[in-house]
Amino acid sequence: MNLEGKKILLGITGGISAYKSLELIRMYKRAGAEVKAVLTNNALEFVTPLTIQTLTNNKVYINNFDTSDYSPEHISLCDWSDIFVIAPATANTIAKIANGICDNLLTSLSAAYNKPFIIAPAMNCNMYNNPVVQENITKLTTLGYNFVAPETGFLACGANGTGRLADLNKIYLRTAELLNPLKPLEGKRILITAGGTIEKIDPVRYISNFSSGKMGISLAKCASKLGAKVTLISTFKVDGDFENIVTLSAEEMLKEVETQLDLQDCIIMAAAVADWKIKNYSSQKVKKTNTGDSWNIELVKNPDILKTICKKRTGEKPIIAGFSAESENLLQNASEKIKSKGCDFIIANDISRTDSGFSSDYNEVYIIDKKLNTKFIERTTKDEIAKIILESIFEQTGNYIKTGSVCSA
């Protein structure tokens, strides 16, 4: 992949695999990129500034307090570059970045960086498996940092395990991919719904549910990054690279979804639509004095948006997917739902779990298609789940090219 004209800031920290970053510089340069390197003091124990300077054809950056330039380096290097790649990254530097510590130029740059960021850890296997290190990596992954995981094998310290710097080709490809993101959904129109619908009782009260809308938002952001033209219908305002229509009740949402039905290539109903609405909405606030000690509110069934649009579509388009929120008999209930609603895919999740699902940034799902082929996606971030859902839906339509972790960039 061509990197002509791209500007790469390469961070090198103090691990034995720092010698491999010399080859990484050459790979970037061969592809046409310009490289500037920033080193920690410990990295200087393993590689020399002269080598790096010769390979990059650029000054080497080490200290925070260089006076040769009027512009602060931790800002000017951020502005200059298109991407920041730290390879190798030690447990120490990862911990500092995860906790916002800025005690050298490399960590100060990390704190100020707001463009694509890659971290390629390398360390002893026991260090890598240490729960604190893993927690830092998970925290940074959730925040959108891209990790190129280390490999398993013989380590320089003599141990055998996971901790060896990833194959340089993998680091290179991830860099190229983030700099020239593939847009496999270019030309597609995708409608996503999100959030729990709000069913008004009177002007001050309503019934709803615990849905946070996070899964739908991850889907909208991911579909947009993959090149689709996205419309997000949500029960609250969401900012992003997509059109956002806010609706409150199930009926309002149905109306908007129906309007969009023939315009879309795909509709994903991630909203938690309330099954019931208030039979008699009161346009005046209901006073306590008028209700007595108890208040019976009569509920009537809401329209089923998913079922309605599946019935109304005339051809194969749009592809329609729904979610299945279950607290028991997950797969059985989900398989029945795909049939009763008439949709093409159901994404089933167990809402009784406390470590994923409602309000969480994580989810664990099954993706089920019409033939009841089932794909299990183990617990991971909703951003990752979103990407896998979109891939699974569009792979079945043919010519979909898989990308790396573009959605969490």
What positions carry a catalytic annotation? 157
CA atoms within 13 A on the CB side of 393: 26
Among 110, 324, 403, 405, which residue interacts with ligand CTP (rule: CB under 6 A)?
A: 324
> Would you count residue 3 as binding ligand CTP (CB under 6 A)?
no
Length of the chain: 409
Residue among 230 and 250 whose Cβ is closer to ligand CTP: 250
Binding mask 90-129 for ligand CTP (x = CB under 6 A): ----------------------------------------
Count H helices and E strands in the chain, helices first. 14, 20
Residue among 118 and 320 whose Cβ is closer to ligand CTP: 320
In the complex, least distance from residue 307 CB atom to ligand CTP, rounded to whole angstroms: 7
Residue type, 39: L
Residues 6+ apart with CB under 8 A from 161: 124, 125, 126, 128, 129, 152, 155
Residue type, 356: S
Q: Which has the closest alpha carbon to 219: 250, 195, 197, 255?
A: 195
Enumerate the β-bridge partners of residue 243.
231
Q: Which of residues 18-37 bind ligand CTP (CB under 6 A)?
A: none
DSSP state of 344: S
Q: Which of residues 246-265 bind ligand CTP (CB under 6 A)?
A: 250
Residue among 322 and 404 whose Cβ is closer to ligand CTP: 322
CA quadruple 173, 175, 176, 182: dihedral sign: positive
Q: Which of residues 335-364 bind ligand CTP (CB under 6 A)?
A: 337
Among 325, 386, 407, 409, which residue interacts with ligand CTP (rule: CB under 6 A)?
A: 325
> Would you count residue 322 as binding ligand CTP (CB under 6 A)?
yes
Among 323, 358, 362, 394, which residue interacts with ligand CTP (rule: CB under 6 A)?
A: 323
Task: Say how far apart CA 110 and CA 178 lie, in whole Å.
Answer: 17
Residue among 3 and 271 whose Cβ is closer to ligand CTP: 271
Residue with tokens 């792979």: 395
Query: Residue 302: enclosing H or E segment and its boundaries?
Result: none
Binding mask 268-307 for ligand CTP (x = CB under 6 A): -x-x-x-x--------------------------x-xxx-
Residue among 145 and 323 whose Cβ is closer to ligand CTP: 323
Binding mask 221-250 for ligand CTP (x = CB under 6 A): -----------------------------x
DSSP state of 272: B
Total binding residues for ligand CTP by CB under 6 A? 14
Burial class (CB in 10 A: 0-12, 13-18, 19+), 333: middle
In the complex, least distance from residue 258 CB atom to ligand CTP, rounded to whole angstroms: 12
Sheet of 83-89, strand order: 60-61, 34-39, 7-12, 83-89, 117-121, 146-147
Q: Which tokens hold the place of 222?
A: 């991911």
Residue with the CB atom nearest ligand CTP in the bound state: 322
In the complex, least distance from residue 185 CB atom to ligand CTP, rounded to whole angstroms: 20
Residue among 198 and 273 whose Cβ is closer to ligand CTP: 273
In the complex, least distance from residue 7 CB atom to ligand CTP, rounded to whole angstroms: 44
Task: Say how far apart CA 403 and CA 400 lie, in whole Å.
Answer: 9
Residue among 9 and 273 whose Cβ is closer to ligand CTP: 273
In the complex, least distance from residue 304 CB atom to ligand CTP, rounded to whole angstroms: 4
CA quadruple 155, 160, 165, 168: dihedral sign: positive
> Would you count residue 319 as binding ligand CTP (CB under 6 A)?
no
**Helix, strand, coil percent content, the chain, rounded in steps of 5:** 35, 25, 40
Task: Name the site residues for ligand CTP (rule: CB under 6 A).
Answer: 250, 269, 271, 273, 275, 302, 304-306, 322-325, 337
